[in-house]
Structures are given as structure tokens and as C-alpha cells.
Structure 1
């Protein structure tokens, strides 16, 4: 690629709010920049006409819609106020400039150009044509279709400029800088609209090509289940006849047939459990409203926490845990054996628990418990917390604890940041998204997440509002089954 001649001057990147320790520091920085800008404009000493040109540009740039109208504003201001004609070249890729628009006869201009001594990263006066590079906003260069060389979007060419003096050069450069930032925002906006159109189309494709076909598997599973039931009936009859025959070899073969049928059913049950979980996650994560609103949208209803959320995910990971030699037990604290019904988005909360268990499979390490027992251990549980979110607003705390040394963290919440991976995961695959996803889901429910090492193992936990659907008031009944105050107690007319 041929690049522009000459080095580009270094530009100080504006700070973001994340760079400051306090609100006061952020305010102080902005006040300082305002004062510096006041000094800059005193030094610019722009004429009234030049200042009005900038003001008119900002007002009209916000008023007009469409790229063509924006180009017209950019070119007509120099024509009306300074009698300058202009052309705009924009980079289509890292090497190619295309003529976007011109206030003069476009037929006489080259429609495609490459980097040369005029289209460069510096201001160039060639004859009576002044070429000013159109700068993008460096902070948002990564949002463009490609990384612009030297942070340049294109070139703004004006003429006749042979008589333009140094001070007027400065004004025209500042004017083109403002064109560049406005143009950058419009390119990003157009690109975002394209993304939104694609996402809306993709959502429809997902429903048509993924969700609906997946529902047919339920029909296939039901058919397979009936065939397995028929297989058991046939196997039972075969075993009876073989037993009546008295032939030991026939009985042995019949028993093998029964074992095979039982094994097929066990495999069917395991596959069906995975299908149910996968279907739930597909329908939950690819929910249409997520894409339409650009965020996770909860669909909450009351479910049994243990039987509908926790135990299905535990069964899903049980084999992987056993293969790693991880024992599920009560050495690190046990799960209460009780029914807990609460309102939640079942699919999303199940995915949170699945992420906790997925990490447990990969990162549980061997340890020696205080009682002397050695091995890899996992436990999970929950506890209702009275008035946790305020008076008469209980919470429920869920946790997964695994054996192993503590994570080396200055801030325990670091593990819930996107892309975080601890220093003990070099041999395990992962993206660092699971715990961040868990944090998003729990916070959407109005809860919180956390990590701690309690001396026995690493505990990942979340606390949710303990919401339940309202129950109808219970009415005391009189002997005979009629509620007190019912029609049976009313006096006869």
C-alpha cells in the first residue's frame, strides 16, 4: 500500500470518564479544556464571517438528512461565504479514494484516485487547489468499516485558493476538521442502521431455520419413546417364552436383550435431557425481543428452583464432573432438600447456573479438607435471606463452591468482567464471557453476584429478589366443607 508522505502530527487523545477517580476530577478536566479552547479561539482571531460559517455548518449539519444533503451543506458554505468551489474525496478502502461529490463539473474530475502528493495526510496547495485531509475521530476509528490510515477519511479540495493566506488556511483546516467529525458520526450511524437491518432479518431467519425446525425434534422424540415402550413390551413377552422353554442359553440371550433395551432407554433419557436444555437455551438466548430491543429481555414466571433450574443443569454436567474425578457432596456445604418456588426467567437463570458448573468442571482442583479427606469436591445450595432488599423484601442466595486455592485478585468482582481469565486457566479453553453473562442476567433480575474463598473452596454466588406470585387468601371452612360466610350459612328467605 502506498501511504501519504510525511509524518502525521501526534494528537492528544481526549480522556474518557473512566480515566478519572472522581466526578470532581472529571469536571476539572472539562473546565480546563474549555479554558484552553477559549485561549485557542482568541489566538485564531476568526472574522465574524468565518465564525458564522462554523455556526451555520453546525446548525445545518444537524438539520439535513442523508449523505448527499450533508455534502451539499459542506460545499455550499465555502461557495456562499468565501466564493470557493469544492470537491470531496472519501477513502473506500485503505488505498482507494472515490469522488463523493463536487460543486463543479464532476465530469472533469477523476472519479477514483490513490494516495499521491495531493491526497496525503498534510495540507497541500497544488496550483490554486487546496487539499485538506478529512480527519476522523480517533477514539471511534475502530467503528469504521476499515482502519483509516493516519485516521484520515478522505480529502476536501477547494479552489481557487492561490490567494488564500496563512490565517485563512487555518480557518479552512478547522472547518474541514469539523466536517470530518460530523462525517464520521454519519458513517457510523449508517453502518449501525445496516447492522440493525441485518439483525432484524437474522432474527426472522433464526425463527424460521432454527427454532421452528428444532420443535420438530420433540415429535421425533415422542415417536422414539413409543417405540422404546413397544420394545420393552416385546422384550417382556420374549423373556416369558424363553423362560418357559427352559433353555438356559435362550434365557441368557433374553436377558441380554432386556439389558440392551434398558440401555437404549437410558441413552434416550440422557439425549432427551440434553435436547430439553439445549432447546431452552436456544429459545431463551435467541429470543426475538433481545434483538429488537438490543438487550436481554426477561420473561419471568414462577418455577421450582430446585427441580426446574438447578437439578437439570447438575444432571447435564454430572458425567463431565465424574470424568474429572469431582465429587458432588456436602463436604463444602449442602443443598437444602426443599421446594422453593420463585419468579424468574427460567432459561436465563438456568444458563447462569450452567456457567457456574461449566467453570467447576474446568477449574476444580484437588484439596485436603479439614477432616483429612482428599479429592476434588463441588457443592451447591441456596438460602432465603429475610428483608435482604428491604423490609418485607426477601432475597435468595445461590452458590456453587469448588475445592481449590483462592484466585489471586485485588478486586473479587474482576472475575465478572468481560474477557477475564484467571492465571490458573492456561490449559483450559474459554472466552471469559460466562461469568460476565451471569452478572448481566442477575443484575437484570435486580440482584447481584460475587466471589469469595471461604477457606474450604472458591464460592461463586448470586443473590436474587425472592419473588413469588401472589396467592389467593385462604378461607377457614366450617365442618361439612362449606367456607364460613358462604351461601350455605345464609338464612333462608
Structure 2
């Protein structure tokens, strides 16, 4: 055999130390493979699996490759189970018919996480790397077991064959670990990009309204200062010479200014409370740790905690655009609706729906021949919608206007999509995509339906038990 030439010495001590370590591991691996006495087919199996694992991009392809390789080369059937977030081993791929394979591994894990042969079956733990296990979307069993590879041959495997498939299962585990981390990192990046849009859409842009509120407050303060100056001058004058009517007028004006000032204060405080809720909700530490939105659920009165605050926030916007708010068409029941929900995130869903209604409501001619321009909101209960005894609630926000074209409806809840008819209005096309994300995290659905005189957007959420 040709002698091996290793990296020559270099001047950098740290680099030299790394090369020495790597060279030593190469020598060890050469010795190991000489000792393994793998057959040509076995060596080809490891090489083929490694090459194709780099070629295929998806996890499903990798799982399929893991079971098809033993079948194609050795004629051995294989089934691969991988851990899920609940700690169960779920079937991912198998060369055996679906009717013969359980969806969840239910056999006792009596093999103590070591290979186990039972007749023609050989069951192996699929192990991950010891490093970076905290970034996996599940907790490995016995520190490093992330799956189970079950082989079914026509005869019991020999000791040498079992040893080879242990090495093969290790490679399946390492490739699975790498791909899961890769997809997790991609998901984190997508989430961060989406979160930046959410913060801009739901916090930064609305917070610009504070500037307008402060300007209004300054104007009222200036008016109040002027009235106080006039009142002071009148009081300092001879009170007997002062026209009592003028004094009453000044005091009345002062009282109106104080009331207007308090109105602006309440408006600012309401806006501050809403922005704080959204900001704290979007910037939770758990979102960044998991790389996705993490719900913080609590039981709540849907109308009082979610709908009413958002409607009151947008009511001045509706009034400014002469949009009436009609609750008669919403089918609002008298009883309170209780949900177990993330109040902050779900509030932003309905903030987006009301915001869209404020921007896109248009006047239409109704069946009575008269013009109408209004929004309507409400909800209905859907008994057993999610299964026996699992009721749902279907809140909706309706606005008058031309129907959304059929060819655009399937895109409404996609990221950054905007209808052609809305291009002249400010917006990012992110609000409905955000709504879809949050509602689906709650186990619900979002939807759109054209109705008489306008457009209806709705969500379907599980009711609290």
C-alpha cells in the first residue's frame, strides 16, 4: 500500500497543533477501517449514503435514503423512526408496506439504547452528535438517541453485519442531526426576518402616532396657558370693575381646555398601553430562543380583552373617514365567550383586521338603493367544529367595498402580498400573513369570503373548555 504523506510542519504553533491532532485522527481511522474488514458492498454503502445525503435537500428525502440504501444494496427492509417534541418515536420512512408498520414505536425500549436482535429483526439506536443537542426541537433519549432504525432481513444478521449496520446507523444519525440543525437555523432566520416586519408593522409605525398626539397635547397646553394668563390678568384687575360675564366666559373656556387636555391624555395612555402590549408580546425572550412565536396562553373574555380595546383604538379612524360601525349584522351573542389564548398576539391579529377595514372600506350602493359605508364585527359559535365536544368560535370583521378579485383570494394570507386595488394605500402586505401565523398557532384557521356589499375576514378558534 502506498505510504501516506501528512501535512508538513508549519510555523504557527496553534495551527501545527491542530494539524497534529487531525493527522492522528486520520491514522486512527485508517487503522480502524483496516480492522473493520468491511466488504466492498459495505464500503460502497457508506459512500453512497454520504454522497446522496449531501445531494438531497429535505429531511424527508434523507429519511427515505436511510431506508432505501440497505434495501437496494443488501435486500434488507428498513424502517426509520425519529423522535418528536412529545418524546415519541414517529415513523418517517419504511420499505415495508404502511399496513405493516406502526406510526409510533410502541415496543418497550428494553434494549437499553443498545443494538438488539430478535430473530430476523435488528433494532439499532440512531444517535446524534453530543454537541449542539440543545438546538434540536426535541430532547434526545439517553443523551444522544434521536431515532430507531429497524432492519428486517431474510435471516438473522451475522455479528460482522450487525457491527457494520451500527456504523451505518451512526451516519444516519449524524446526517439527520446536521439537517435538522440546518432547517432549524433557516427557520430561525425566517422568523427573525418576519419578526422585524411584525415589529415595524405593529409597533414602530403605530408608534409614530405618538408624535401627532404630543403635537395635539402641546396645542392644548398652549391654549390653557393663554387662558390662564388672561384669567390672572382679570383677577389682578379691580374685581368690582370686571364684568362678571367675562370672568364666567374665561372660566368656562378654561374648564373646556382642561377637559380637552384630559381627553388627549386618555387617548395617549390608551395608545401607550396598546403599544406596550404589542412590544412586550413581540419581543419575548422565548420567541428568540425557539426561533418562532411561542404562545403565552391564559383564559380570557374574548370581547372584553381582545375585541373591545382594538375597536376603541380604531373608532376615531372610522369616524374620521365617515365609516359607521354596525354591530347588528355580526350575530353577536349575549353571553361572554371565553378563550384560552395569547392575548397580546391575538390582539394584534384583530388590530390588523380593523386596520385593514379602516384603510379599505368603501362606499357601496345597497339593495335599498342607498349608499352605505360601514364595518361590522361579530362572531358565531360552531358546535363540535374541532371534534365531539370541541366547540369553536368564528369571529369576523366585515367591511363594505368591491369584492377582492377571485384570482387574488388564494394569496391574501401570503407574506408581502397586496391586492392591486390597494396599492395606493400605505401598507406592507404583512398583516394578514401575521394573522394566519398566530391563529394557526392557536390551532385555528383564517379565511376570507365575499358577501353582499363587501368583504368578510374571519378566524376560527377553539373555545375554552
TM-score normalised by length of structure 2: 0.50
* Larger radius of gyration between Structure 1 and Structure 2: 1
TM-score (norm 1): 0.47
